[in-house]
């Protein structure tokens, strides 16, 4: 049985460990002076060492500590009560405010179709994020060690997770769940071994709690810890250091590659909702960057890319190159849906976009107008010199919906409306007009999306089907004197 923490004067780790952790924190810029930090504490050796070490460093780092304990409801009420009592006694002895919470991991796993491990992690981090927001904590610290880092690299290597898997855990990383204004996740003990955290507890006269699940051979990580890592130490006694260096090197490469791959992701400042990968931009990237773009999109959708294998990445890339309407079910409740222009990643059930209003809105030329969630801007310019296709491409840079039309053909004002029965449209490049319904079918526009696509109409009919194509009769020619430039932006009110 774990002992009750002793007097506060004994709750100090060794000076050497303190200085190493402080140096790691300062060099990696994990916290800022004056910042409030939430420490996740389970009562085990690693998180206990983290709490007592950060408590000893509070003054020199200029930080303010809070602690959080979460009961996953997996080991019975007695075990949970012992853990919470231990953490509470320790927090009281260190004069650190403690926040406690609990959740039904099994129920969450069943309802969300998650593994027990994944459900526990999701509920734990959701609780930490809520406490951090209430307590105004800018960062949440966890007790991951150098041993955890080495095991994570090996775990990803065994699963074939690619370069991103080799990067394992960063000292500081974005919050692993999507949330509004989330805290940072920091790992101040990544330079410390598990053996050292146990020694730290002994030095501080604390007997930490022990989690029996850490010895269960049912978990792959535990088998790596008990079988593979000891075997590798026979070849390299400092294998943990070697794997940590590999992770650091891979992380540096990943940072560059993902900055290049991010070009395929549609910019979106929202912290919740679907993530979109632009299909044309994705196809234009080299093979390696396409893979990184997919992993980056999944990480943004879920908080991280845990559980995403190379097989899943290949499936998403095949879908992106395939027909509109393809759907994939991916790990952790993630879904991929292929639209005409994007691969949409979401954890929500797919739903049709809201139809546009029934009425008609006038768009003055020049001028601006809003129609449903769309905002339109119309400008008059001179016909650009040289190749018109290059001017059109330049106008569309950045992913905006832009059309260049002949101003004289379109008339002094335009109408914005949704489709109606009997609409006909003469698509650019086509010899004759056709039913708008047939155009949508040929363009693989899903039926559920058609009433959400605005139509820009001029004197001669539909001048532009937004997101699709302008009309042949409205195109800019060598005889065009003034060009009408219309920009459509999807911006919900």
Instruction: Dump pLDDT digits (tens) for 125-163.
Output: 999 999 999 999 999 999 999 999 999 999 888 877 778
How far is 456 from 466, CA to CA, in rounded Å?
7
Determine the pLDDT at residue 7: 42
Task: Report the chain's terminal Cα–Cα distance, integer Å.
Answer: 58
Cβ(63)–Cβ(55) below 8 Å: no
Q: What is the dihedral of CA 204, 209, 210, 213, to 10 degrees?
A: -140
Q: How many CB atoms lie within 10 A of CB 420?
A: 10
State the CB neighbour count (10 A cutoff) for residue 164.
24
Burial (Cβ within 10 Å: 0-12, 13-18, ≥19) of residue 470: buried
CB-based contacts of 166: which residues, under 8 Å, 6+ apart?
153, 156, 157, 246, 247, 250
pLDDT, one tens digit per residue, over 308-361 is 888 889 999 999 998 877 888 888 888 898 888 899 998 865 566 788 999 999
The CA distance from 21 to 184, in Å, is 18
CATH of domain 361-490: 3.50.40.10
With contact defined as beta carbons under 8 Å apart, do 116 and 106 qualify? yes
> Around 267, how many Cα atoms within 13 Å sit in the side-chain half-sphere?
8
Q: Is residue 380 a contact partner of residue 411, using CB atoms and an 8 Å limit?
A: no
Q: Which of 92-106, 208-222, 297-311 has the highest mean pLDDT?
A: 92-106
- pLDDT beyond 70 at 241: yes
Ranges of each domain in the chain: 8-246, 252-346, 361-490
CA distance 366 to 368: 7
Q: Is the pLDDT of residue 305 over 90?
A: no
Arithmetic mean of pLDDT, 463-481: 92
The pLDDT of residue 272 = 58
pLDDT-derived band of residue 265, with 50, 70 and 90 as boundaries?
confident
Among 363-367, 396-400, 465-469, the minimum mean pLDDT is found in: 396-400
State yes or no: pLDDT of 296 exceeds 70: yes
CATH number of 252-346: 3.30.465.60
Query: pLDDT at position 385, please?
Result: 65
Which pLDDT belongs to residue 180?
78
Q: Which residues pair with 379 in a beta bridge?
A: 485
| Predicted pLDDT at 351 | 60
**Averaged pLDDT for residues 28-36:** 95
So what's the pLDDT on residue 460? 93
Q: What is the share, in percent, of the chain residues with pLDDT greater than 90?
A: 58
**What pLDDT sits at residue 355?**
87
Confidence of residue 386 (pLDDT cuts 50, 70, 90): low
For residue 396, what pLDDT is reported? 47
SS (H, E, C) the chain: CCCCCCCHHHCCCCHHHHHHHHHHHHHCCCCCCCCEEEEECCCCHHHHHHHHHHHHHHHHHCCEEEEEEEECCCCCHHHHHHHHHHHHHHHHHHCCCEEEEECCHHHHHHHHCCCHHHHHHHHHHHHHHHHHHHCCCCEEECCCCHHHHHHHHHHHHHHCCHHHHHHCCCCEECCCCCCCCCCEEECCCCCCCHHHHHHHHHHCCCCCCCCHHHHCCCCHHHHHHHHHHHHHHHHCCCHHHHHHHHHHHHHHHHHHHHHHHHHHECCCCCCCCCEEEEHHHHHHCCHHHHHHHHHHHHHHHHCCCCCCCHHHHHHHHHHHCCCCCCEEECHHHCEEEECCCEEEEECCCCCCCCCCCCCCEEEECCEEEEECCEEEEEEEEECCCCCHHHHHHHHCCCCCEEEEEEHHHHCCEEEEECCCCCCEECECCCCCCEEHHHHHHHCCCCHHHHHHCCEEEECCEEEEECCCEEECCCCCCCCCCEEEEEEEEECCC
Q: How far is Cα 346 from Cα 364, in angstroms, rounded to an integer? A: 37
Return the pLDDT at 339: 86
Residue 451 has pLDDT above 60, yes or no: yes
Mean of the per-residue pLDDT values for the chain?
87
> Regarding predicted confidence, which is higher, 493 or 173?
173
- Pairwise CA distance, residues 65 & 37, whole Å: 5
- The pair of structure tokens assigned to 488 is 């459509």
* pLDDT attached to residue 5: 46
209-236 per-position pLDDT tens digit = 887 777 777 778 889 988 999 999 999 9
For 402-445, write each residue's pLDDT tens digit.
Answer: 999 999 999 889 999 999 999 999 999 999 999 999 898 888 77
Q: Which two tokens stand for residue 349?
A: 């059930």
Length of the chain equals 493
Token code pair at residue 140? 């949440």
Q: Phi/psi of residue 208, each to 5°?
A: -75, 170
Phi then psi for residue 63, to 5 deg, are -115, 165
Q: How confident is the model at residue 181 (pLDDT cuts 50, 70, 90)?
A: confident
Q: Which residues of 9-26 are buried (b: 16+ CB within 10 A; e: fewer)?
A: eebbbbeebbebbbebbe
pLDDT of 60 above 80: yes
d(CA 480, CA 486): 16
| Whole-angstrom distance, CA of residue 375 vs CA of residue 276 | 20
- Residue 49 pLDDT grade (very low, low, confident, very high; cuts 50, 70, 90): very high
**CB 317 within 8 Å of CB 326:** no
Question: How many angstroms separate the Cα of 90 from the Cα of each of 44, 55, 84, 205, 454?
Answer: 12, 11, 10, 11, 62
For residue 10, the Cα-to-chain-centroid distance in whole angstroms is 42
Given the candidates 3.40.50.620, 3.40.50.150, 3.90.470.10, 3.30.460.10, the CATH classification of the domain at 8-246 is: 3.40.50.620
Q: What is the rounded distance in angstroms from the CA atom of residue 317 to the CA atom of residue 294?
A: 8
For residue 101, how many other CB atoms are within 10 A of its CB?
15
pLDDT at 21: 96
Percent of the chain residues topping a pLDDT of 70: 91
Per-residue confidence band for 254, with pLDDT thresholds at 50, 70 and 90: confident
């Amino acid at each position: 049985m774990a002992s009750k923490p002793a007097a506060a004067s004994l709750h100090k780790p060794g000076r050497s460990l303190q200085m190493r952790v402080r140096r790691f924190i300062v060099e990696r810029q994990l916290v800022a002076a004056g910042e409030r930090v939430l420490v996740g504490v389970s009562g085990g050796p690693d998180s206990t060492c983290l709490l007592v070490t950060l408590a000893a460093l509070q003054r020199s780092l200029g930080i303010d500590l809070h602690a959080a304990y979460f009961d996953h409801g997996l080991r019975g009420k007695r075990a949970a009560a012992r853990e919470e009592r231990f953490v509470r006694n320790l927090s009281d002895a260190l004069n650190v405010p403690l926040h406690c919470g609990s959740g039904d991991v099994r129920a969450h796993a069943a309802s969300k179709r998650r593994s027990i491990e994944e459900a526990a992690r999701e509920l734990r981090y959701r609780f930490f994020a809520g406490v951090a927001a209430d307590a105004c904590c800018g960062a949440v610290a966890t007790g991951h060690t150098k041993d955890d880092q080495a095991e994570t690299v090996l775990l990803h290597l065994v699963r074939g997770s690619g370069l991103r898997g080799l990067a394992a855990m960063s000292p500081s990383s974005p919050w692993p769940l999507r949330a509004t204004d989330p805290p940072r996740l920091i790992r101040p003990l990544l330079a410390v071994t598990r053996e050292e955290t146990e020694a730290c507890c002994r030095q501080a006269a604390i007997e930490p709690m022990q989690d029996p699940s850490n010895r269960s051979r049912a978990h792959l990580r535990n088998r790596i810890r008990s079988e593979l890592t000891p075997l590798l130490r026979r070849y390299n006694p400092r294998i943990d250091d070697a794997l940590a260096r590999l992770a650091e090197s891979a992380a540096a490469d990943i940072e560059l590659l993902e900055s290049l791959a991010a070009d395929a992701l549609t910019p979106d400042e929202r912290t919740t909702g679907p993530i979109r990968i632009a299909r044309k931009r994705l196809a234009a990237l080299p093979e390696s960057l396409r893979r990184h773009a997919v992993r980056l999109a999944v990480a943004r959708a879920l908080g991280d890319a845990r559980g995403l294998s190379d097989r899943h990445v290949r499936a998403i890339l095949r879908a992106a190159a395939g027909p509109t309407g393809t759907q994939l079910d991916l790990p952790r409740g993630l879904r991929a849906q292929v639209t005409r222009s994007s691969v949409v990643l979401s954890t929500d059930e797919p739903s049709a976009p809201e139809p546009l209003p029934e009425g008609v809105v006038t768009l003055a030329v020049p001028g601006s107008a809003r129609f449903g969630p769309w905002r339109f801007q119309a400008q008059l310019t001179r016909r650009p010199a040289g190749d018109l296709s290059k001017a059109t491409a330049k106008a569309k840079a950045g992913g905006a919906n832009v059309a260049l039309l002949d101003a004289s053909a379109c008339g002094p004002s335009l109408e914005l409306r949704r489709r109606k029965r009997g609409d006909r449209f003469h698509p650019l490049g086509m010899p004759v007009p056709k039913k708008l319904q047939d155009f949508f079918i040929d363009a693989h526009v899903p039926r559920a999306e058609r009433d959400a696509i605005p139509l820009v109409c001029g004197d001669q009919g539909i001048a532009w089907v937004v997101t699709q194509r302008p009309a042949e009769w409205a195109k800019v020619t060598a005889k065009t004197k003034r060009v009408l430039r219309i920009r459509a932006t999807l911006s919900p009110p």
